[in-house]
Amino acid sequence: MPVTIRDVARASGVHVSTVSRTFSAPHLVNPETRTRVLSTAESLGYRPNRAARALITGRTHNLGLIVADIANPFFPPLIKAAESQARQRDYHVFVADTNEDALVEEELVQALAKQVDGVLLCSPRMSNDHIEQLRREVPLVVVNRLVEGIPAVVMDVAQGAKAAIEHLVGLGHRHVAYLAGPRGSWTNRELRRAATATARALGANLTVLGPHQPTETAGVGAAEQVLRSGATGVLTYNDLMAIGLLEGLHDRAVKVPEQLSVIGIDDIALSRLIRPKLTTVATPTAAAGRAAVDMLLQPDDDRRTTAQVTLQTELVVRDSTGPAPRRTAASRPPSATPVGSLKE
Amino acid sequence: MPVTIRDVARASGVHVSTVSRTFSAPHLVNPETRTRVLSTAESLGYRPNRAARALITGRTHNLGLIVADIANPFFPPLIKAAESQARQRDYHVFVADTNEDALVEEELVQALAKQVDGVLLCSPRMSNDHIEQLRREVPLVVVNRLVEGIPAVVMDVAQGAKAAIEHLVGLGHRHVAYLAGPRGSWTNRELRRAATATARALGANLTVLGPHQPTETAGVGAAEQVLRSGATGVLTYNDLMAIGLLEGLHDRAVKVPEQLSVIGIDDIALSRLIRPKLTTVATPTAAAGRAAVDMLLQPDDDRRTTAQVTLQTELVVRDSTGPAPRRTAASRPPSATPVGSLKE
DNA sequence: TAGTTCGCTGCAAACGTTTGCTTAGCCAGA
DNA sequence: TCTGGCTAAGCAAACGTTTGCAGCGAACTA
């Protein structure tokens, strides 16, 4: 039923190899023959079978793209950009969702390995050792993680966290908190590290809260914890948690930014649609997707030199941050039990 | 370098066909041999090459999933659900984005055709004729469109539009508008039809505005048009446009729902995060994704009987709708020039 | 005119599997 | 002892391509 190269060959009176060459090495075939073959191929509706081609060339012209959670608004722009970039280079992309599960991640890479020319591993949750091991089965580019010897695209979130904490302290906040993301996340470690270091350098007090799932729900649930901490300014692992936090605070009648300042990370589309508009650290996700695809598709020689690229982040100040309140006690709802004392 | 079935055969002292059968028809091989083969395969790190298998079986165990815009928040939950369902059935899925372009859609289906066992076409923009034609190249399930003879999963948006208009008229709105989506969209036509019919049946006045791109930006831009129309209640093609409209109205200091009521469609996560919380018609997108995959993977015999499934929608009343204002003139900003007269 | 190069095409092997057919060995029944 | 049936395994063709090699005229070189 499906029309093959052989059908085209028969119909145009040439050998299959000539048909093959018409598509894969046109300059090797007589222009006259070429047009004849092309037109019969066209009229027969012939489409090359990429799997068969892959079998012999070893190149599938497919890519794998593995993310923690497709529905997390951070990823779609990245997926879209990566897919678009890949398709421009005549590649198709498998997209898979791990549900934040490191084991699933690993299985997926292995399952995809034989079927793709490379895998984009976005915000992986698995250990570095596992990544290095998988690297031997299939070319890999990791996004949002730095692993020795593995090509990677990362955002300079440390710089972003620094800017965020500086922003808060500059507004007079002396006690800030970092609402942490999931355990396996490199970004989470970076943020935590940079936030802590910056706070210390500025003589401010920083509390780390978490870890948490990087979801809005987790943010809602963390509101209580944040209030208890006594912090007047919060940096969160991502915008989703920040937005959840905003909701949780709203439910408790805590005013943002009057009583509490909140900063997210990522600058997802949502963050400027909610009220108050979220102050956040913008990460160039689309650019990351494109860059990662480019790295994966680069000839081997170049790959070493461009092994790791860092994209700049930028603090976007909107309406969820403001001057520190005078008396922090006011920022707590009556029901909240204060824990620990606040250093002013 | 990559380990093949032949390596396993050699290492375990059997013929390749025995190794093959160990994986694809275990009951045909002696339990003893089987375990031996399995363990050497394991230790060599053998992974079957699905492309090679596909070449001979004709089944790739891959699916294609084509959407208009990955970054449109309507789609990620659908993609996630479809991918998850597919993987449970040992299928991988290609995800592709058409940028709302009917031509790209067609090219994609054709490019994917040979590489997949079926394609999910979500919210297609191309004509029915084209869909029927593509149907001959590859099994197809269409989501959000009803095409004669093509398996489909649709949401009962007509019912949703009816409920929405009834809700508005019930609140006293006599002049309502439908802010239309893109031209090729079946959902758009359904909504328009149902909204018009319902309004007529209730003796209300309905204005159709559009078509528009189904984006937030388009919604912002349509604010002026909506105000000019004189309508006091608006149903939009999707939540994204509704949210944009809300923004545009906010910029013009028009109060929602006091001066204007807005209803979206889809109930994307965003719609309960913005203020006012959006009244909207919830569509079961995840369920649609799962259902579509199930249909695609069903044995041929059953497919005819379950050719088209319709999923129920539900009006979710939140804060963006309220009683019609007394004097509609008040709902217009000073700068807006009234066009047409309002029948009260 | 003979030899060499060149452009184009055909031939056939190969890629990693699956699968219908055949074979080998064994056991039961007669 | 022979026949028949069964289980387990091997053999080889096939899937749709690509590609190194060889062949063959024609054109160029000497």
Element (H, E) at A265: strand A261-266
Provide the pLDDT confidence category of residue A301 given band limits of 50, 70 and 90: low
Q: What is the pLDDT of residue A299?
A: 77
Provide the pLDDT confidence category of residue A333 given band limits of 50, 70 and 90: very low
In this predicted model, what pLDDT tens digit does every residue of A167-204 receive, in sequence order? 999 999 999 999 999 999 999 999 999 999 999 999 99
**Chains A, B: CB contacts under 8 A, how many?**
122
Chain D bases having any atom below 7 Å from a protein CB: 7-12, 14-20
Strand partners, B65: B95, B120
Q: Do A79 and B73 touch (CB under 8 A)?
A: no
**Does at least one atom of strand D sit less than 7 Å from the CB of B52?**
yes
Q: Do B69 and A80 touch (CB under 8 A)?
A: yes
Q: What is the pLDDT of residue A307?
A: 84
DSSP state of B39: H
Rounded mean pLDDT, B107-116: 95
Closest amino acid to nucleotide C9 (CA–C1'): A18
CATH fold group of domain B62-153+285-310? Rossmann fold (3.40.50)
**Does at least one atom of strand C sit less than 7 Å from the CB of B21?**
yes
- Rounded to a whole number of angstroms, the CA Rg of chain B reads 26
Strand order in the sheet with A279-282: A205-209, A175-179, A233-236, A261-266, A279-282, A314-316
Q: CA-to-C1' distance for B57 and C18, Å?
A: 7
Rounded Cα distance between A324 and A322, Å, is 6
Contacts of B111 in chain A (CB under 8 A): 47, 92
CATH fold group of domain A62-154+285-310? Rossmann fold (3.40.50)
Q: CA-to-C1' distance for B47 and D7, Å?
A: 28
What is the DSSP track for B284-299?
A: -HHHHHHHHHHHHHS-
In this predicted model, what pLDDT tens digit does every residue of A218-233 receive, in sequence order? 999 999 999 999 999 9
- A335/A208: higher pLDDT: A208
Provide the pLDDT confidence category of residue A326 given band limits of 50, 70 and 90: confident
Strand partners, A267: none
In this predicted model, what pLDDT tens digit does every residue of B10-50 receive, in sequence order? 999 999 999 999 999 999 999 999 999 999 999 999 999 99
Mutation target to probe the B interface, by most B beta carbons within 10 A, among A50, A93, A97, A246 is: A97
Is residue A302 scored above 60 in pLDDT?
no
Q: Do domains B62-153+285-310 and B157-283+315-331 have the same CATH topology?
A: yes
**Does at least one atom of strand D sit less than 7 Å from the CB of B57?**
no
Closest amino acid to nucleotide C18 (CA–C1'): B56
Query: Which chain A residue is nearest to residue B92, measuring alpha carbons?
Result: A94
Hunting for tokens 């018609």 — which residue is that? B281
In this predicted model, what pLDDT tens digit does every residue of B278-301 receive, in sequence order? 999 999 999 999 999 999 998 766
Q: What percent of chain A has pLDDT above 90? A: 89
Is residue B91 scored above 90 in pLDDT?
yes
The residue among B75, B123, B69, B78 whose CA lies nearest residue B98 is B69
Quick check: A158 and A191 in contact, CB under 8 A?
A: yes
Q: What is the pLDDT of residue B341?
A: 36
Q: What is the pLDDT of residue B331?
A: 45
Q: CA-to-C1' distance for B55 and D22, Å?
A: 30
**Does at least one atom of strand D sit less than 7 Å from the CB of A24?**
yes
Q: What is the pLDDT of residue A2?
A: 84
Contacts (Cβ under 8 Å, ≥6 apart) of B259: B232, B325, B330, B331
Distances from the Cα of B39 to the Cα of B1, B14, B22, B24, B36, angstroms: 20, 13, 11, 16, 5
Q: Do A115 and B69 touch (CB under 8 A)?
A: no
Average pLDDT over chain B, rounded to whole? 92
Angle between helices B285-297 and B75-88 (to 10 degrees): 40
Q: What is the pLDDT of residue A343?
A: 37
Q: What is the pLDDT of residue A36?
A: 96
Average pLDDT over chain A, rounded to whole? 92
Quick check: B180 and B188 in contact, CB under 8 A?
A: yes
Quick check: A220 and A161 in contact, CB under 8 A?
A: no
SS (H, E, C) A42-85: HHHCCCCCHHHHHHHHCCCCEEEEEECCCCCCCHHHHHHHHHHH
Q: What is the pLDDT of residue B344?
A: 33
Q: What percent of chain A has pLDDT above 70? A: 92
Contacts (Cβ under 8 Å, ≥6 apart) of A32: none
- Domain B5-48 is found in CATH 3.40.50.2020: no
Rounded Cα distance between A34 and A47, Å, is 16
Rounded mean pLDDT, B272-282: 95
Q: What is the pLDDT of residue B336?
A: 39
Q: Are strands A308-311 and A152-155 parallel, antiparallel or unpaired?
A: parallel
Q: What is the pLDDT of residue B307?
A: 84
**Cα angle: B221, vertex B224, B230; to 5 degrees:** 140
Provide the pLDDT confidence category of residue A344 given band limits of 50, 70 and 90: very low
| Domain definitions of chain B by residue range | 5-48, 62-153+285-310, 157-283+315-331
Quick check: B152 and B141 in contact, CB under 8 A?
A: yes
Hunting for tokens 């019609």 — which residue is that? B324
Q: What is the pLDDT of residue A339?
A: 38
Provide the pLDDT confidence category of residue A67 given band limits of 50, 70 and 90: very high
Residues 259-298 of B with CB under 7 A from strand C: none
Q: What is the pLDDT of residue B254?
A: 97
Contacts of B115 in chain A (CB under 8 A): 50-51, 62, 92
Is residue B302 scored above 80 in pLDDT?
no
Is residue A341 scored above 80 in pLDDT?
no
The residue among A79, A217, A66 whose CA lies nearest residue B269 is A217
**Does at least one atom of strand D sit less than 7 Å from the CB of A5?**
yes
Q: What is the pLDDT of residue B208?
A: 98
Quick check: A275 and A258 in contact, CB under 8 A?
A: no
Rounded Cα distance between B324 and B258, Å, is 7
The superfamily (CATH) of domain B157-283+315-331 is Response regulator (3.40.50.2300)
Tokens of A164: 């965020």
Is residue A294 scored above 60 in pLDDT?
yes
Q: What percent of chain B has pLDDT above 70? A: 92
Rounded mean pLDDT, B98-118: 95
Mutation target to probe the A interface, by most A beta carbons within 10 A, among B85, B92, B220, B272 is: B92
Exposure of B251 in the CB half-sphere (CA atoms within 13 A) = 14
Rounded Cα distance between B275 and B243, Å, is 9
Is residue B264 scored above 60 in pLDDT?
yes
Provide the pLDDT confidence category of residue A304 given band limits of 50, 70 and 90: low
Query: Which chain B residue is nearest to residue A243, measuring alpha carbons?
Result: B273
Q: CA-to-C1' distance for B17 and D1, Å?
A: 35
Rounded Cα distance between B178 and B162, Å, is 12
Q: CA-to-C1' distance for B19 and D14, Å?
A: 18
Q: What is the pLDDT of residue B329?
A: 45
